[in-house]
Amino acid sequence: MKLIMAVVQDKDSNRLSDALVDKEYQATKLASTGGFLKAGNTTFMIGVKDKDVDHVLEIIKDNCKSREQLVAPISPMGGNADSYVPYPVEVQVGGATVFILPVEQFEKF
Ligand code: 2BA
């Protein structure tokens, strides 16, 4: 068994969860925040059999779009000066950032 953790944009999260339910994969959605943009995104935890990993990756690919996002300067006032971005920058935000982890044991009680 594997645990697929996929960080996706909020805009894609409903479409992806509908597609997973449609194909009868179980998933948990966590509200998360990107460390760089400090904007909300969604992290999916999807536990699957090894043989289903490629199919789930296809579903993620088909439902998550890459987009350009402009990052406005963020004032360091009251925040962390280390992460201050002094000028607007355009970044390409995935798609999806996907981690695939081995699952040692899986139980439901
Ligand atoms: P954020 O950290 O908010 O990053 C959003 C986008 O900003 C990234 O898109 C990337 O294009 C850009 N970016 C991130 N750090 C940067 C930097 N130091 N300099 C310049 N540009 C930078 P994605 O790579 O598609 O990542 C989307 C989201 O996926 C990330 O949001 C983060 O929440 C998650 N993520 C990406 N890589 C990760 C990793 N190695 N570990 C954990 N989470 C990750």
User: Does the reported pTM lie above 0.75?
Assistant: yes
Percent of the chain past pLDDT 90, that is, above it, reads 74
User: With bands split at pLDDT 50, 70 and 90, how would you rate the model's confidence at 6?
Assistant: very high
pLDDT score for 49: 97
The DSSP line for 8-76 is EEHHHHHHHHHHHHHTT--EEEEEEE-TTT--EEEEEEEEE-GGGHHHHHHHHHHH---EEEEEPP---
Q: What is the mean pLDDT of residues 38-61?
A: 97
Q: Please name the residue whose Cα sits nearest to atom 17 of ligand 1.
A: 36
Q: What is the mean pLDDT of residues 26-51?
A: 96
Q: Ligand 1: residues within 6 Å at CB?
A: 7, 34-37, 39, 41, 91-95, 97
Q: What is the mean pLDDT of residues 64-79?
A: 76
34 C-alpha to center of ligand 1: Å? Answer: 6
94 C-alpha to center of ligand 1: Å? Answer: 8
107 C-alpha to center of ligand 1: Å? Answer: 32
Q: Please name the residue whose Cα sits nearest to atom 8 of ligand 1.
A: 93
pLDDT score for 22: 98
77 C-alpha to center of ligand 1: Å? Answer: 23
Q: Are 20 and 59 in contact (CB under 8 A)?
A: yes
**Is residue 99 over pLDDT 90?**
yes
Q: What is the mean pLDDT of residues 31-37?
A: 93
